[in-house]
Structure 1
């Protein structure tokens, strides 16, 4: 799509490519965003836009158009992040125009659209069961133990792969991990029953295959399995379970499960290794399902 007959956009994209190294997705996103602005301007003013003609009032009107009128290809309103991207492209373009001497000063930009963030993505019970079913069907004892520690104990991937045998105290009725977290901080994390069973099953096999390794999950060359291995594992299991997930979703799920079953923030923060309760409080935000249930209960 040709944006405008004026050479402003051509000069801007040449600068974006040569000076900022922006290619691929960024350049395409900016080009699409500026094409949208040009179309809106032509509809309003019947002419091609030039940088010097754009005022703060125009920018506010355009942002309002993006929020309330513009639709995506599916006919739905634009998400706040998309509106923000469109306005960001326009702002970068106008800053370039000022530096290139095409305008004397920048117009005032409206405040960015704020998106009310929900809780981090977590798996519901049905999705958790689908994932666990797949890891049991397709996984090895090592993989089952890894998934259980991520999902049941809320460990970070880096924490799970680096657990040493000396960090583990586990039996049939008790289990505690000493976890090395961010900033070389140590914390103790209890291991619940299902995770204990999975870890014990793996330890029996591990003792035969890797008797000399200090790590619970040995890798090659005397080290431990890598975070990348776990990322690929979770992604592949998710594909079989019809889920788009990464390892951190399992940590979010563990936190959400604890909150929804009545655990207090201090306890959850201690288990997750959060230094601030603010980091843990995000899990108390309701998701769409919980909000829908609340509205249904309150409907007359």
Structure 2
């Protein structure tokens, strides 16, 4: 996959099929578009092109950062796994914002060699979102591209969207979020050194910081699946999101995980912690003995959870 983070002087040299959007979470609604794009790619012999923005347009306009389901780095990795040929992640500049719908389509067709658009039924583009599906249909007569318009995917009568997923994550509804995303919500980062309290209790844990851009689910304990991205190995476990209130009062919000049946050194490695089920809220215990007793219960619950899931599967 070729990656570009600008659009000035950008010119592709192969005919493409494009889908455009923020793609936060790369959820089931997005995948509906991408599956169609990949089918068109194979049928027409085109290259698959994703066009997105490095910062959500709303954040650029308001100046207020929005929590994201997937960071830009995570999105790039997911799109590369899918098999996209070109990934363009543009800054949402004033120049781009002021483009009329026709100017934007002209750029895509003439510079990015777009021969086919795959978009959702509510797709809007151009200055003040003046362009829509009808605009794309009308411009196709001038520019000669094909257009595929996909309907929204719904869950329990509601359109699947990044907003919907963020609401479920903030509420701790991890199973619903997983259905909407098509995969468990995850947090990735490099392992950092902790205070070794877990090791002293006979429960060695690993610690990760949370990217400040990410949506943070409720603080507490989760059944989790931990993947060591350096080698792809995966372990069941439990993870705590929080500030370690029993240990001290000055810890930043992070993720602390205990990997079942693992014995080794993970410092410096990158982990993906997938949060499968919200077990309980974080709380402050009277002492470390009380904390360990609760962690033992959390581990037993998680092992039972995995056993039940395995039986169902």
TM tier, smaller: under 0.3
Q: Which has the higher strand share?
A: 2
TM-score of the superposed pair, with normalisation by structure 1: 0.22
TM-score of the superposed pair, with normalisation by structure 2: 0.22
Q: Which of the pair has more CA radius of gyration? A: 1
